[in-house]
Structure 1
């Protein structure tokens, strides 16, 4: 007799879970911590309605975990900020020990704004090209000069000027060059952008206007909700498909030994809704090793039940370094990095990419 991990996870939230767990233990199947906790939290799919109330049994076999503190009216009852009031977020980079906001990505085939002489050199383990924009260049961005911004660390700085920035890392030979990178090579083959220079805060990850703060959720300690989210993740078809990639590769060990889990229970600062985010990812140790990054998003109802908002495989986001609400719509955006950790990516919680700070790598990662 054998049981898959997905089958076991499904059985944990079914009435006959005790017999199935014992059978799974008899097979030697590894059970992740938290799956045998006797307290469970109801889990509903989006289309399901809350169950009709029934008389409470005299001696309930399973105790429902207490709900998070009662939410105030949800996103539908709280008016969205006007477009002018909605917060903005700019990804940041450091160039020659100065902080810059990425305002606009410039594709490789795009025309460059008029700029002055460039400075080039080593920069944070890579190479950088930096040239000030002429006063007539990038008129759409001139209004940002003088603006006060706040970074993710709380540092405050003002925008002083605009610049053309290009960055890359690696070996010129991998870029098809027979010589070292020249200034023109850096400009043409680097990740290019129109950037805003700050008078401080050189090494932070993102910034927003001081007058329009980005909304950051309040972390809560709710272990039962975190365990319930992980159980739902393990039982989902998305997770089953991801595990199959690992199984088909016939690697040594088990995916349970390699997967990294994290759960966060968060209260939205404006809507007061409580959410649970469960993230599971496998990072490749060698080239060709299967990898995946899965994110489950669940809303906590007034009755303490979790409603699945989404369980998604994030295509290009292995780490989640920050969770924010950029546009004030009551939903979360994610800031993290893909494999190699060179780019910084801003996505919606379903993995839709919103912005990317790209650092092209010329080399072999293996």
Structure 2
């Protein structure tokens, strides 16, 4: 039997399900039979959060290039899916982010300096998860999905009205953890929304090399599915808000596929785009530009310098963050911290490793 190399296999046709869109790429409102754009106050809030998120991506990426961070997985171009999803959460709900969701953390209220702790190698999470109702950023793909299901299952068993939003990329949906989480969520009717950002690439591999389908909605697990324009913050907010409300009301979990694009390599290898115009086509659909166009057209932005002030204000905050990172690197944790918080009593083998490391450091 002749086997076909998956690299030569043609990409599957695009999904026939049209994404929910409330603002087009020119900043014009789009009528939808099931969803309505949020009010002007929320639209302005979405815009400001995306502006801050874009600036945060720029500043953190610069810190990584300067060696002040070990790595920083950028999400430039995907701010709408992160911000729109996070701002749909209620005060009782929990957020379960992945390693590329730093903008979501900042929009959720986590201190920027604490958000960057993971990427400078200080702690697994630089913030208190209970304070922010935000789990530590998940580096292994899709493991946060099961955590979200487990937390909501436990909360419901204690009579607490809690929903969860789990953030993932399209590559994470090929992991077994994702499918196990989907199954448990569907069987237990857990109030979880899985927001999957489909940017067509998993690191440097195109989507069709990881899956034979482009539909990341219900995936055959017995859940509801929604497909939304991931560059339209208003649409993401409206769809995720409905999905969370249905989940809280006992309507079960759902998968929201946000079709978007991510610019730049971030923490991974440069993308091997077969078509050099791909990035340019998506750049014309920039989520910040389109929402700003709507706000200005409808005179909802207020002061025309509001965007510039937000950028300047966050630039100062980011500079303060850079100072915090610099000080943390200079007065960082000792090597012994690597061996703490895992065992109450360090096992002999680990103790031997600790001593070996201490000896090596003394010789440096």
Fold equivalence (TM over 0.5): no
Greater C-alpha Rg = 1
Q: Which structure has the highest strand share of the two?
A: 1
TM-score by length of 1: 0.20
TM-score by length of 2: 0.20
Asked which structure has the greater RCO (Cα within 8 Å, sep 6+), the reply is 2
